[in-house]
Amino acid sequence: MGDLNCKSFAVEHRYIDGDYMDDHCLFYARCHRPYPNYCRRIHFFAGTCSRARLVGVIDEIQQHPASTLRTDPTPRWENLQKDYLGFLVVRPNRCAFVGRTVLTGLPGAERKYTCTRRYDVNLAGIDLYVDGLAFQQQDRAIAACATTALWVALQKAAHDVCFRVPTSSEITVNATRFSLEGGRSIPSSGLSMGQMCEAVRASGLEPDLFEVSAEPRLLRRMAHAYLQSGFPVIAGLYFYDSEEYAEAAKQASPVAPALNPNSGHAIALVGFRLDPQRNRTVPVKFATAAGGEQTTSVMMTGEAVSEFYAHDDRLGPYARVKCLEAPWGTSDVSIEWPAPRRAEVARVAYLLVPVYPKIRLGHQDMEGKALGLLQGLAKIGFPALPALELDFAILRGRMYRNMLISSQPAMPPRLLYDMLAADSVARYIGVCGVKLDGAPFMDVLFDTTESTLGASVIGVVCRNEQLRTFASQLSRLVGVSFYG
């Protein structure tokens, strides 16, 4: 806990945890050894947490019975909340004792923890909260790594759409309901990718599954797009022998070293870091009027990802996963372990994203549509593709509207009103933010309820003052509505 600057902790000695209770009913209660059905919960603080301090907070709250702590916080409660770092549930299982654990991420503006939510807790009658994403250790009875990664991702994805978040037991049972490739479901020996998709469907969401093993650029861009949209991404990977990998890279071997076929592992990506110095240029091919093919380039913000942050059931929350520049064009990453253990090297084979069922348009679909539109604009004299930078996200419609109102440079209020009141939007919309020379130029909007064959482009929001003067002409020329 040194990285989180933890100075003290408080322990609840008899804590009933819903996730463990479900596991206990399904498995541990039927064991010959008597496992307790309760846990301990440890709360961590950046300052001193003593009985006297907690009593003082209770006394202060009693003096302000009409106050609401969130809107009108008392000084002592506010200081206690500022010191609160999160909690760890200790299960009565010596082999896998780390239960539902929520901690704040490590500080640093360059670290983007985009897939977190608020968890409310109560300590001795005092309401506190922590912003993070729940983590737990696999126990190999109810949950292996795949179940745990799914449980982490659904903590955010299901919660955001107000669906019930399933427990580990429910995930394993749902995943193996129609397919038992490895024999019995419990004790769990792991899940296949098909079983993981089935577990996502059973939760009320839909699984978007992508193979990225031979596309390192796609790994960065796709994971970045979903993560900054607030969707946790499950990475399915296989490990190399670290020494063989280092030697093959050193010798510039033309062939990648062999993967261990029995080393399948799943982790949940919950954040990322962008390196502003990294080259973001991507080659783009498009057809010419003469029937040939031309190659140009464009910048993609997702290409700047240097590392991801993952909940790895072996390591803990917010583990560092570095993107490697593999000489074989493969999606290789390095999972950092505490010294002196050597980092692991793995290839990401699949990305699995649980999404709201009406989100039918994915990152690749939006990328293709946006590039086609921008190529059309370039042909009539607007900025050439190499001058532009594209950034993709899937956002709630109301969130995007709020962002437009508060965005800088500010858009004219009357223009905003006419645009935002003109039509309704889907619950989730796709947004391709286009920059020119580092400044907002336009936003290409997508209807995520459409398919790739449908009219998925809603329109274009002109973020550049000069571009607005041509909005009506561009609408007629391109056949897409330009708002401005």
Q: In terms of C-beta distances under 8 Å and separation of at least 24 residues, what long-range contacts does 273-277 make, across chains too?
A: 273/110, 273/111, 273/112, 273/305, 273/306, 273/307, 273/308, 273/309, 274/110, 274/112, 274/301, 274/304, 274/305, 274/306, 275/304, 275/305, 275/306, 276/304
Calculate mean pLDDT across residues 217-223: 92
Q: What is the pLDDT of residue 20?
A: 85
The share of the chain scoring above pLDDT 90, in percent, equals: 46
On whether the CB atoms of residues 280 and 303 are closer than 8 A, the answer is: yes
Q: What is the pLDDT of residue 2?
A: 44
Which H/E stretch holds residue 52? helix 51-62
Instruction: Name residues whose C-beta falls within 8 Å of residue 368's C-beta, 6 or more positions apart in sequence.
Output: 452
For the chain, the structural domain boundaries read: 2-132, 207-355, 363-483
| pTM exceeding 0.85 | yes
Write out the two tokens for 159: 């919660």
Neighbour tally for 274: CB within 10 Å: 18
Task: Name the band, by pLDDT with cuts 50, 70 and 90, for residue 1.
Answer: very low
Task: Name the band, by pLDDT with cuts 50, 70 and 90, for residue 182.
Answer: low
Task: Name the band, by pLDDT with cuts 50, 70 and 90, for residue 354.
Answer: very high
Q: What is the pLDDT of residue 292?
A: 72
The amino acid at residue 48 is T
Q: Nearest-CA neighbor of 269 among 124, 149, 428, 397?
A: 149
CA atoms within 13 A on the CB side of 8: 11
Task: Name the band, by pLDDT with cuts 50, 70 and 90, for residue 56.
Answer: very high
DSSP 3-state assignment of 374?
A: helix
DSSP 3-state assignment of 411?
A: coil
The amino acid at residue 305 is V
Report d(CA 168, CA 149) in Å as an integer. 10
The amino acid at residue 17 is D
CA atoms within 13 A on the CB side of 231: 29
Taking all residues of the chain, what is their mean pLDDT, rounded to a whole number?
A: 88
Report d(CA 78, CA 455) in Å as an integer. 50
Q: What is the pLDDT of residues 288-338, one digit of tens each?
A: 666 677 888 999 999 999 999 999 998 989 999 999 988 888 999 999 998
Tokens 């280092």, residue located? 246
On whether the CB atoms of residues 296 and 385 are closer than 8 A, the answer is: yes
Neighbour tally for 119: CB within 10 Å: 18
Calculate mean pLDDT across residues 170-183: 78
Q: What is the pLDDT of residues 9-21, one digit of tens each?
A: 999 999 998 888 8
183 compared with 281, residue with greater pLDDT: 281
Q: What is the pLDDT of residue 100?
A: 93
Instruction: Name residues whose C-beta falls within 8 Å of residue 233's C-beta, 6 or more positions apart in sequence.
Output: 153, 223, 226, 227, 268, 269, 351, 352, 353
Calculate mean pLDDT across residues 460-467: 87
Rg (alpha carbons) of the chain, rounded to whole number: 25
Q: What is the pLDDT of residue 160?
A: 92
451 compared with 219, residue with greater pLDDT: 219
**End-to-end Cα separation, the chain, in angstroms:** 51
Residue 98 has pLDDT above 60, yes or no: yes
Say whether the peptide bond before residue 340 is cis (omega within 30 degrees of 0).
Answer: yes
Most confident of 75-84, 132-141, 399-408, 422-431: 75-84
Produce one character per residue of 67-87: b if its CB has 16 or more CB atoms within 10 Å, e if not: eebeeebbebbeebbebbbbb
Residue 31 has pLDDT above 80, yes or no: yes
Burial class (CB in 10 A: 0-12, 13-18, 19+), 194: middle
Write out the two tokens for 343: 């980092």
